A and B are shown apart, each in its own frame.
Chain A
Amino acid sequence: MNSFIALLKREALEHKNLWKVPVILLGIAILVRLAFSFGNLSISIDVPNAFNFESTLDSVLQTAVGKTLSGINSMITLVMFLVAIFYSLSSLFDERQDQSVLFWRSLPISDTETILSKLATALVVVPVIIVALQSVVAIVFLGFNGFTYLAAYLSGAVIKLGEILLWSMLPVISWCLLCSQIAKKNPFLLAFVTPIIFMLVDNLFLNGWVSETFVINRLTGVDEHSFALMLWGVLFSAACLAFAIAKRGERF
C-alpha cells in the first residue's frame, strides 16, 4: 500500500501536466467569472452531448452564469480526459527512452504494480481531479448557491462520469498504455493509426460493422451501450494490460 502511494506520487511528479492543466483550467474559469462581474461577456460553449451531464438542473442553470458554468464543467472533463490519454501514451515510453526503466526495475516493485499505478492515475486520480476542480469552479461561479448546485450536480455527474470511464476511458487508456509499452519509435502514431487502418480494412471487407461496434461506438455510444458490449471492453482492456505487463518484463 505504501509503495502504491509512492508509485502514484511518482506519476504526479513525473507528469506535471496532471496538475498544471487543472490549475490553468481553474485560472480560465476565474477569468471568465470575473468577466461576468466586471466585463460584459456572454459566453456559450458548444460541447458534445456525451460530456453534458446535467439536464435536471434547469432551474439553477437559467442564468448566463449558470450556462457558462455548465460549459466550463464539460470543458474540464474533456480536457482532463485528453491529458489522461496523452499521459498514458507517454508514461511507459518515456521511461524506456531515458533508460530510467532500468532503475525502476531494480527496486522490488512488480511490473503489475507499476502498470496498475499508471492505470489508476488515469482512471482514478484524473476523475477525482475533474470532480474536485468542477466543485471549486461551481463555488467560484455561484458563491454559496454553489453548494446547492453541487449537491444536485454531483449526484448525477458522478454516475455519468463512471459510465464514461467504464465504457470509453478504460479501453482507451488500456490501449494507450499498451502502445506506450510496445511502440519502438512513436506510441502516438501507433495508438491512433492502428484503429484507423483497422476501420479502413473493416469498411472494405466487412461493411464497417465491427469497427462501428468496437471502435466508434466506444467514443460516441456511451448513452446507448449494452452490458455485453461493455464486458467486451473490459476484456479488451484486461488483455491490453496483461500484454503490456508481460512486455515490460522483457524489455531492458
Chain B
Amino acid sequence: MTQVADSSANFVTCAGVTKRFGPTTALDNVSFEIGAGEIVGLIGPNGAGKSTLLKAMMGLLRFQGSLSVFGQNPMANRKSLLKRMSYIADVASLPTWMRVDDLLAFVASTHPQFDKAKAAELLEATPIRLESKIGELSKGMKTRLHLCVILAINTDFLVLDEPTLGLDVLVRREFQDRLVEDYFSQQRSILITTHQIDEVESILTRVLFIKDGRITMDVRKSELKRDYVKLLVKGSAVISDPGLEPIYQRKLPDHTELIFKGADESKLQQYGELVTPTLEDLFVATNS
C-alpha cells in the first residue's frame, strides 16, 4: 500500500465537503484523501450520501467545502479532468437509440484515452453484438457494455457508482478481476460505491463507511486485521476484564459474537475463538 504523504500527489483531496438539499444534509463535513494504487470502497446504506459525494467528485453538483481531483476543481475543469478520471455515474445512462458500434466510434473520437480495440476485445467475450441497438439489450447487458467501455478508457482514476448492480456472480467476478489486473497493478486507483459489502470486499484495499452524510470509518484492509477482532463465545458472553469493552455484540442461537477495537488479543483468547471480522460485521458495528 502506498501511503501518499504529500497532499499535492493525492488523486483526490476532500476537505470539509458539505451538501444540503433544502432541509436535508446529504453530506456533512466529509474529509478524506485518495492516493495512487488504492481500491477504495465507499460503503453505506441507501440514502447515506454515496452518490452525492461521487457526483460532487464528478463535477455534477455544487457543494460547500473544498474538493480537488488531481489538484483541479471538478466543476470548473471538468473537461480536462476527464482525461485523467473516468466514471460511471449510472449504469442505466447509455443512449438507448445508439448502436453499439456507433457508441464505440463516438467514444473513440471524443476520448483521447479510449482504446477501441480493447473495447471490442472485451465485448467479444460477451453476447453483445456490435450491430445491436443499445435499447434492445437487457438491463444486465447494458451494464456490461458500459463496463467494457469504461475498462477500455485508460485513465489514472476510475469512479464507479454501484457498477455491478444486477449482474450475476460470474460476470461480477470477471469484472472485479479485470479491475485488479488493469488498475491496481499499475498504481491507478478506483473508488467504488456499493450497499452490498460482500460484493466488493475481496478486491478493496481500503474502506470508507458513510452514514447520514458522514464518514463513520476510514480503514485500510491491512489495518483492519490489526485493529479489529471478532470473538466467538459459546452461549452468552461474560467478559469480566474492565479494559475489554466490545464495540458491538450480537446474540446468535448457539453463540455470541463480540467485536473489539484495539483489544489485547491474548486476554481475549481465554473467552473463545478469535477471527477477523468481515466488513459487514464492522459496518454494522460502526453504524448501529
User: Within 8 Å of chain B (Cβ to Cβ): is A194?
Assistant: no
| Pair B95/A106 contact, Cβ less than 8 Å | no
Q: Which residues of B contact A104 (CB under 8 A)?
A: 95
Give the Cβ gap from A16 to chain B, nearest Cβ, in Å. Answer: 8
Q: Which residues of B contact A99 (CB under 8 A)?
A: 90, 92-93
Q: Mind listing 29 A-B residue pairs with CB under 8 Å?
A: A3-B109, A3-B110, A6-B106, A13-B97, A13-B98, A13-B102, A14-B95, A99-B92, A99-B93, A100-B95, A101-B93, A102-B60, A102-B93, A103-B89, A103-B93, A103-B94, A103-B146, A104-B95, A105-B60, A105-B78, A106-B87, A107-B82, A108-B79, A108-B80, A109-B79, A110-B78, A250-B61, A252-B60, A252-B89
User: Within 8 Å of chain A (Cβ to Cβ): is B83?
Assistant: yes
Whole-angstrom distance between the alpha carbons of A100 and B111 in the complex?
A: 17
Return the chain A residue nearest B83 by Cβ: A108
Is chain A's interface secondary structure helix, strand, loop, or mixed overall? helix
User: Within 8 Å of chain A (Cβ to Cβ): is B130?
Assistant: no
Contacts A3-B109, A6-B110, A108-B110 given; does A252 touch B97 at CB 8 Å: no
Is chain B's interface secondary structure helix, strand, loop, or mixed overall? loop
User: Within 8 Å of chain A (Cβ to Cβ): is B26?
Assistant: no
A-B contact count (CB 8 A): 70
Chain B 99-142 residues near chain A, CB threshold 8 A: 102, 105-107, 109-112
Whole-angstrom distance between the alpha carbons of A163 and B109 in the complex?
A: 34
6 tightest Cβ-Cβ pairs between the two chains A and B: A108-B82, A6-B109, A102-B93, A252-B60, A100-B95, A103-B93
Residue in A9, A106, A249 whose CB lies within 8 Å of B89: A106
Which range holds the interface residue count of chain B?
Answer: 20 to 34
Seen from chain A, the residues whose Cβ lies within 8 Å of a Cβ on chain B are 2-3, 5-7, 9-10, 13-14, 95, 98-110, 249-250, 252
Give the Cβ gap from B188 to chain A, nearest Cβ, in Å. Answer: 17
Q: Which residues of A contact B221 (CB under 8 A)?
A: none
Return the chain A residue nearest B105 by Cβ: A6
Q: Which residues of B contact A2 (CB under 8 A)?
A: 109-110
Return the chain B residue nearest A110 by Cβ: B79
Contacts A3-B110, A6-B110 given; does A106 touch B58 at CB 8 Å: yes
Binary interface profile of B, 46-86, with partner A (CB < 8 Å = 1, else 0)? 00000000010010111000000000000100111011001
| Pair B105/A98 contact, Cβ less than 8 Å | no
Whole-angstrom distance between the alpha carbons of A2 and B110 in the complex?
A: 7
Whole-angstrom distance between the alpha carbons of A252 and B57 in the complex?
A: 13
Contacts A14-B97, A103-B95, A252-B60 given; does A109 touch B110 at CB 8 Å: yes
Chain B 246-283 residues near chain A, CB threshold 8 A: none
Give the Cβ gap from B69 to chain A, nearest Cβ, in Å. Answer: 13
Give the Cβ gap from B107 to chain A, nearest Cβ, in Å. Answer: 7
Residue in B90, B94, B111 whose CB lies within 8 Å of A108: B111
Whole-angstrom distance between the alpha carbons of A199 and B106 in the complex?
A: 43
Q: Which residues of A contact B55 (CB under 8 A)?
A: 252
Residue in A7, A106, A250 whose CB lies within 8 Å of B62: A250
| Pair A5/B109 contact, Cβ less than 8 Å | yes
Q: Which residues of B contact A101 (CB under 8 A)?
A: 93
Given A13-B98, A107-B111, 11 new contacts (CB under 8 A): A10-B106, A13-B97, A13-B102, A100-B94, A100-B95, A103-B95, A104-B95, A106-B87, A106-B89, A108-B111, A252-B89
Whole-angstrom distance between the alpha carbons of A106 and B74 in the complex?
A: 12
| Pair B110/A106 contact, Cβ less than 8 Å | no
Residue in A14, A95, A106 whose CB lies within 8 Å of B82: A106
Give the Cβ gap from B91 to chain A, nearest Cβ, in Å. Answer: 10
Whole-angstrom distance between the alpha carbons of A47 and B79 in the complex?
A: 46
Contacts A6-B110, A250-B62 given; does A106 touch B86 at CB 8 Å: yes
Whole-angstrom distance between the alpha carbons of A102 and B161 in the complex?
A: 12
